[in-house]
Amino acid sequence: MHITLSINGKDHELDLDPRTSVLDALRDHLDLIGTKKGCDHGQCGACTVLVNGRRINSCLTLAVMHEGDAITTIEGLGTPEALSPLQAAFVAHDGFQCGYCTPGQICSATGMLEEMRAGWPSHVSEDLLAAPDLSDAEISERMSGNLCRCSAYTNIVAAITEVAEARDEAV
Amino acid sequence: MNKHSTIPAPVMHQDLRHDSGHKHVSGRAEYIDDMVEPVGTLHAYLALSDRAHAEIVAIDFEAVRTAPGVFGILTADDIPGENDVSPSHKHDEPIFAVGKVHFWGQPIFAVIGETREAARRAARLARITWRDLPAALDVDAARAAGGTLVTEPLTLRRGDVEAGLEAAPRRIKGRIAIGGQDHFYLEGQIAFAIPGEDEDVIIHSSTQHPSEVQLMVAHVLGISQHAVTVNVRRMGGGFGGKETQGNLFAAVAALAAKRWNRPVKIRPDRDDDMQATGKRHDFVVDYDVGYDDDGRIQAVDAVYAARCGFSSDLSGPVTDRALFHADNAYWYPAVKVRSEPLYTNTVSNTAFRGFGGPQGMMAAERWIEDIAYGLGKDPLDIRKANFYGTDDRNVTPYHQTVTDNIIGRLVDELETSSDYQARRKAVLAFNTMGGVLRKGIALTPVKFGISFTATWYNQAGALVHVYRDGSIHLSHGGTEMGQGLYIKVAQVLADAFGVGLEAIKIMATTTGKVPNTSATAASSGSDLNGMAAYDAARQIKARLAAHAARIYEVAEADVAWVPGGIMAGRQFVAFSELVASAYLSRVQLSAAGFYKTPDIHWDRANGRGRPFYYFAYGASVSEVTIDTLTGEYTVDRVDILHDVGRSLNPVIDLGQIEGGFIQGMGWLTTEELVWDARGQLRTHAPSTYKIPLASDVPPIFNVRLAEWSQNREMTIGRSKAVGEPPLMLAMSVVEALSMAVASEADYRVAPRLDTPVTPERVLMGIKRMRTERPA
């Protein structure tokens, strides 16, 4: 099938088997290799990207379903020379060890902070109607779809908290 | 003055970030599956058995051959050299099964396709006629089937155990089952082979042991090692799962690449990876322990049976290391421990962070717990009563004297800083209220032996080039899997030359630069490779000092290395200036460094020696809450005090300790491997195999380095290894859960929880407490 995907603000024309996942389209057809394949089953979170600002597992969604959507990958968030605030915070807090889950963690955190800002409750929210607080418990729960086998979780949560607090102050 | 000639601050023992950090966070760090594929790249996929033990009567490949996109098939008949990747060189681990399969998931052949998808689909299409054979899946079944061993067992013996047990006022016998663990490295196994001219082949392999991949590929292709180059830039996690398990994938990629003269990549799907590659050994330990009324152990007699799977792989050294840690931090006046590495019809188990040590230590903590509940005491008191002494009571079951014991100080400090005694009182008080929720708290020690017990592995090499502009190229035999080895060795080299880190380029590991290296394993990476790099720097510096003495006309003794360059008498010469003039004077600016750990030896036949250069120590306190109706629990608080000697990089070391603890907690709590009656692993994906999540990290998690510690041996910067020892800090979670369970019978019945302590096991434990509770 011939489709056009908008990725990181740029349109890409592609001829794809309709069964191709967004993940395989990115990695195998567009050389956007920052998005990682961990389990290919939607269970590890390494392939997380943003679709219209919402985080999804790119291995569990077909590319043909996303014509007209705005897809953002780790490459679209920043570059080594110009890191996004979350990317910089992950470096500053050592929010990784082997680094394989890191692009997914950062895409997920980017989407997650927007969810918190929009007031979405989580499994650990005491009050479903109140604005969620920036506790470790809230952030950890909301990031629990992204596995890190090196278990750099403490530093991941610290990095996210730093950015979330800076944003809150800026508001 | 160029950028390398400013005065740099020393970088060893400093908090420095991982060298690839900016690339990791921006998705630019390249793993093997991210590499640009040359035109014509083919993809290999393994066909795996769906029988645990069976004869292959016939294979019909017709449907495979005619499937779309199939380029070719590889079977054992296509192997020009040996059909074997056994790291123990016992020739018991075929790449492709011949005549018989020994476990569910064993590779039988490989399909080479135009795409990975095509190869993967076709690999399922062979029609195989089987004749099933009886399968022994676990320790009990293996014993019942005759107890075939995959490798030679070990016995360690010191003192008269029989007399010690007879004379002991009290005695306990028991059994503990300790579960295995899947590595679940986020980057799965992968290899990418690129053929060259003549017999040459280059392999990009996700391996902790490039030299062994090189050797295996050479054997399989029937060529010399010099024709095979293995490159490893980084791994997306290893944890021991890539010490030997990458061999087969590299061999298949190389076979196909040479046969069809095309680049070939192989990358199994996660489910196949989990079924076809080895895991941490599960153990069953039977013990008989004599002790006195104060809880002092008099004698220990124990047998350590391990489910090894179908081949030897590393089961010999793994089960040996279990015995080496049968003591944890405790002195046994008389001891006899014996390993039983059993053949089973399951995937061949392999290295995993701790390498048998954790299982050995878990058993030791079990009998400590039994003694404490037998005497009605706090298990911490029993632990302290049995700690190794410093001047006496200090000989291990393998006759090595412990000369660097700091466990007493470490535990005392942690007991105070964690407020253990007051919190234990509070926990006991909470439990007397008799509610549905119960709490537990425990403090457990760790003593872990550092060195490969295969003494010849304790060697390393490095290759250092200094270029005319003063920039430095660093290669060594260690591999980077996230543990921070690359940055640590670069720190060593920067300080050795007195230059800033930016002067040093850390090169990908390759067998072409540094030969005959050991696996990056046994926590030894920075000890060995740091010293080898230091040795290379020493050689170059000696030549530069001699050169400086000559051109600045001072005695060599008056040349001193200072940050940024040298002092030749009273004159400062910047490093880059010195190097530029040395080049013009034809001074060699490159060196191969080498290091071998001194003073270690091991006589396995007699169970005596000094297998370990030194010990790393640590201790942790965990507090938990269990729900006695459901078995569910939370780990509420963890305090850790850990010894890394004088840390080379405290922030990296703290990450290793936190990560190691959480990974250990996963092993002991939620990570359960389940095989069905037919021998298929049913927990072969993260949907069913549960590793810890961000939300599993204890809400209070205090982790500190024992900053006063420094290695008594002359290690690099007096640091200590950090990779494995922290994993075993998680034993305190098990012991805390045990206490919470034991509250159900007023702490009068030993809880004896097997691991992993899943909520189901907690619930079963509570039920047992209610049944066995004394009236």
Q: Which B residues 92-151 touch A at CB under 8 Å? A: none
Phi, psi dihedrals of residue B750, rounded to the nearest 5°: -65, 130
Q: Residue B32: closest CA among chain A residues belongs to which residue?
A: A33
Q: B190 — phi, psi (to 5°)? A: -160, 145
Q: Which residue out of A21, A150, A155 would a mutagenesis test of the B interface target, given it has the greatest number of B Cβ atoms within 10 Å?
A: A150
pLDDT at B499 (0 to 100): 96
- Contacts of residue A91 in chain B, CB cutoff 8 Å? 17, 21-22, 25
Assigned CATH class of A85-170: mainly alpha
Give residue B774's pLDDT: 84
Two structure tokens written together for B648:
């080379």
* Residue A39 dihedral angles phi and psi, to the nearest 5°: -120, -20
pLDDT in tens, B652-669: 999 999 999 999 999 999
B686 touches chain A (CB under 8 A): yes
Compute the C-alpha angle B85/B86/B90, nearest 5°: 135
The residues in B 174-193 lying below 8 A from A, measured between CB atoms, are 183-188
Copy the structure tokens of residue B378: 């706090």
What is the Cα B125 distance to its own chain's centre? 37
Domains of chain B listed by start with CATH number = 21-29+459-596 (3.30.365.10), 134-397 (3.30.365.10)
**Mean of all residue pLDDT scores within chain A:** 96
Q: Which residues of B are catalytic?
A: 724
Interface residue A152 vs chain B (CB under 8 A)? yes
Residues of A with Cβ-Cβ distance to B666 under 8 angstroms: 151
| Tokens representing residue A4 in the block | 């056009």
Helix (H) or strand (E) holding B126: none
- Judged against a pLDDT cut of 70, whether residue A55 lies above it is answered with yes
The answer to whether B472 touches B3, Cβ cutoff 8 Å, is: no
Please write the tens of the pLDDT for every residue from B613-647: 999 999 999 999 999 999 999 999 999 999 999 99
Burial class (CB in 10 A: 0-12, 13-18, 19+), B702: middle
pLDDT on residue B2: 45
Residue B607 has pLDDT above 60, yes or no: yes
- Cα–Cα distance measured from residue B705 to residue B725, given in angstroms and rounded to the nearest whole number: 13
**Are A21 and A39 a contacting pair, CB within 8 Å?**
no
Which residues of chain A make contact with B24, given a CB cutoff of 8 A? 90, 96, 99, 102-103
Residues of A in contact with B269 (CB under 8 A): 40
Can you tell me the distance from the alpha carbon of B445 to that of B385, in angstroms, rounded to the nearest whole number? 13
Helix (H, G, I), strand (E, B) or coil at B648: coil
CB contact under 8 Å between B186 and A103, yes or no, is: no
Q: Which residue has the tokens 């961000």?
A: B694
Going from the C-alpha of B623 to that of each of B424, B441, B694, B698, the distances in angstroms are 9, 4, 18, 9
Percent of chain B with pLDDT strictly greater than 70: 99
Complex confidence, ipTM: 0.97
Would you state the pLDDT for residue B714? 95
Decide if pLDDT at B4 tops 70: no
Q: CA B691 to CA A38: how far, in whole Å? A: 14
Q: Could you read off the pLDDT of B321-371 as tens digits, one per residue? A: 999 999 999 999 999 999 999 999 999 999 999 999 999 999 999 999 999
From residue A117, alpha-carbon distances to A71, A107, B694 in Å are 20, 16, 20
Partner-chain residue, chosen from B188, B482, B694, that has the shortest CB–CB distance to A99: B482
- What would the DSSP string read from start to end of B139-160? HHHHHHTT--BSS---EEEES-
The closest CB to that of B655, out of A94, A101, A146, belongs to A94
CA dist B737 and B114 (Å) reads 53
pLDDT value for A171: 56
**B599 contacts B422 by C-beta, under 8 angstroms:** no
Distance from CA of B243 to the nearest CA of A (A): 16
* Inter-helix orientation angle B357-375/B731-742, to 10°: 30
Q: How far is Cα A134 from Cα A121, in angstroms, rounded to an integer?
A: 12
B 23-52 residues inside an 8 A Cβ radius of A = 23-31, 33-34, 36
Burial class (CB in 10 A: 0-12, 13-18, 19+), B293: exposed
Residues 688-717 of B with CB under 8 A from A: 691-697, 699, 701
Closest residue by Cα to residue B643 from B364, B406, B484, B419:
B406
Q: A47: distance to nearest CA of chain B, Å? A: 11
Interface of B with A in 266-295 (CB under 8 A): 269-271
**Across the interface, which of A97, A140, A147 has its CB nearest the CB of B686?**
A147
Residues of B within 8 A of A150 (CB-CB) are 237, 482, 655, 659, 663
Identity of the residue in A31, A136, A153 whose CB atom sits nearest the CB atom of B662: A153
CATH 3.10.20.30, chain A: domain bounds: 2-77
Exposed, middle or buried, B335 (CB in 10 Å: 0-12/13-18/19+)?
buried
Percent of chain B residues topping a pLDDT of 90: 98
pLDDT at position A170, please? 67
The stretch B405-420 carries a mean pLDDT of: 98
A2-77 belongs to which CATH class? Answer: alpha beta
Q: Tell me if chain A has a CB within 8 Å of the CB of B68.
A: no
B-chain CB neighbours of A73 within 8 Å are 27
Query: Cβ A79–B686 below 8 Å, yes or no?
Result: no
Q: Do B26 and A141 touch (CB under 8 A)?
A: no
Q: What is the mean pLDDT of residues B75-99?
A: 97
Rounded to a whole number, what is the distance in Å from the CA of A169 to chain B's nearest CA?
Answer: 24
Residue range(s) of every CATH 1.10.150.120 domain in chain A: 85-170
Matching residue, tokens 């061949």: B348
Predicted local confidence at residue B3, as pLDDT: 45
Mean pLDDT (whole number) for B587-615: 97
CA dihedral B565, B566, B571, B577 (to 10 degrees): -50
Q: Which of A77, A80, A98 sits opposite B236 (nearest CB)?
A: A98
CA distance A35 to A47: 5
- Mean pLDDT in residue range B517-533: 95
Chain A residues with CB-CB distance to B274 below 8 A: none
Beta strands in B269-315 (DSSP E): 283-291, 297-309
Cβ of B691 within 8 Å of Cβ of A147? The answer is yes
| pLDDT for res B93 | 97
Compute the mean pLDDT over every residue in chain B, rounded to the nearest whole number.
Answer: 97
Which residue of B14, B15, B24 is the best one to mutate when testing the A interface, meaning the one whose CB has the most A CBs within 10 A?
B24
- How far away is chain A from the Cα of B56, in angstroms, using its nearest Cα? 31
